[in-house]
Structure 1
Amino acid sequence: MGEKKGSNSSNNHSHCFEPFISSNPVTSFNPVQRFPEIDKTAFISQFSSVIGDVTIRNNVYVAPNVSIRADEGTPFYIGSNTNIQDGVVLHGLINKRVSSGKERYSIFIGNEVTIAHGALVHGPCYIADKVFVGFNSIVYTAIVGKGSFISYNAVVTNGVRIPPGRFVPPGANIDSQEKADALSPVPKDDKEFVYEVQRVNQEFPASYHLLFGKNRCSCGVAY
Structure 2
Amino acid sequence: MDLAVFEPDVFELALDLEVLIELQAELPETSPRRMRILQALDDALDALDLQHIVETASDARAQLADVLASPADASAHRIAAIGHAHIDSAWLWPVRETIRKVARTTSSMATLIDEQPDFLYGMSSAQQYAWIKEHRPEVFARVRDAVAAGRFLPLGGMWVESDTVMPTGESLVRQFSHGQRFFEREFGIRSKGVWLPDSFGYSPRCRS
TM-score, normalised by the number of residues in structure 1: 0.20
Q: Write 1 or 2 for the structure with the bigger share of strand.
A: 1
Q: Write 1 or 2 for the structure with the bigger share of helix.
A: 2
Larger radius of gyration: 2
